[in-house]
Copies of this chain bind each other. A is one copy, B any other.
């Protein structure tokens, strides 16, 4: 079977992460990294991103292991975007210790001629201005999704609102949904976001799963339980990438049966992502591991 091509634009980073149990330095991170590897389980992702000269073969290996097309990752003079953060016990809060944008500061994603017509486009978490730039460069794909964050809602809301008019799917977390709408009640916040354009609003609930709204339906799904997360960085990007990657692989993505399956696959992939630092565990997941965990999840949710 020929896999659908999913174009993913986002950040690639080196993460320095400190948890209550241990810490790592300069591990692969970034929204494009987690989401493209997650999408690779169902589709053929191609990543548009920028890295510095310090980005080595070691860093590119997980992408190649997963069949992610890295030919549009631009290597620029300078250092790779670096993010340092520490989590408190049980991953209640992440505190950003430092953000060095480096080559990411001037990221200007370019879509090559041959990539102008992807089946799906996932605008992972980068500035809405860049997300709009990319959108302009492609012929409207069958499926367009975006992620965002508090920083953009605060500083670039007009661009984000403009972007949302063209989106099929938006991913936000609880705080972002409330920040974007000024509405605390998550169902009402989700409905308010639906009115801004997207056909599907997915509110990621962290350890409590996810809430999904369309014009006609809403679902909340539980998490796949992980007793001892190692590092929750990238869980949301993984969820989004898995969700979009799965929907890109089906003929009629705007079908509730598929949408629910996408929710389940996103959830299950996120559970792998938090079982290691970086994409280590996620990139090693085999199709049979995914199938097994999906079945466990579906069984746990059946009454």
Contacts from A to B (Cβ < 8 Å): 89-90, 92, 184-188, 205, 207-209, 211, 218-223, 225, 227, 260-261, 263-264, 294, 297-298, 300-303
| Complex-state Cα separation, A301 to B219, whole angstroms | 8
Which among B187, B260, B261, B302 is the interface contact of A227 at CB below 8 angstroms? Answer: B187
Contacts of A205 in B (CB 8 A): 208
| Complex-state Cα separation, A222 to B223, whole angstroms | 9
Q: A302-B298, A303-B297 are in contact. Are A92 and B222 (CB under 8 A)?
A: no
| Complex-state Cα separation, A222 to B205, whole angstroms | 11
Distance (whole angstroms) from the CB of A88 to the closest CB of chain B = 9
Return the chain B residue nearest A268 by Cβ: B303
B219 touches A221 (CB 8 A): no
Which among B89, B225, B303 is the interface contact of A261 at CB below 8 angstroms? Answer: B303
| Complex-state Cα separation, A294 to B302, whole angstroms | 12
Which among B92, B187, B221, B225 is the interface contact of A301 at CB below 8 angstroms? Answer: B221
Distance (whole angstroms) from the CB of A32 to the closest CB of chain B = 27
Contacts of A92 in B (CB 8 A): 184
Given A220-B222, A220-B300, A222-B222, 17 more contacts at CB 8 Å? A89-B184, A90-B184, A185-B227, A187-B225, A187-B227, A188-B227, A208-B208, A209-B220, A211-B225, A218-B225, A219-B222, A219-B300, A221-B301, A263-B303, A297-B303, A298-B302, A301-B301
B301 touches A264 (CB 8 A): no
Return the chain B residue nearest A191 by Cβ: B227
| Complex-state Cα separation, A212 to B49, whole angstroms | 42
A264 touches B185 (CB 8 A): no
Contacts of A90 in B (CB 8 A): 184-185
Query: Could you list 16 A-B pairs, sorted by A, with CB under 8 Å?
Result: A90-B185, A187-B225, A187-B227, A209-B220, A211-B225, A220-B223, A220-B225, A221-B222, A221-B301, A260-B302, A260-B303, A263-B303, A264-B303, A297-B303, A298-B302, A301-B301
| Complex-state Cα separation, A184 to B207, whole angstroms | 13
Contacts of A223 in B (CB 8 A): 220
| Complex-state Cα separation, A227 to B263, whole angstroms | 20
| Complex-state Cα separation, A188 to B208, whole angstroms | 16
The 7 A-B pairs of least Cβ separation, nearest first, read A220-B222, A208-B208, A301-B301, A298-B303, A264-B303, A187-B227, A90-B184
Contacts of A221 in B (CB 8 A): 222, 301
Distance (whole angstroms) from the CB of A252 to the closest CB of chain B = 17
Contacts of A211 in B (CB 8 A): 225
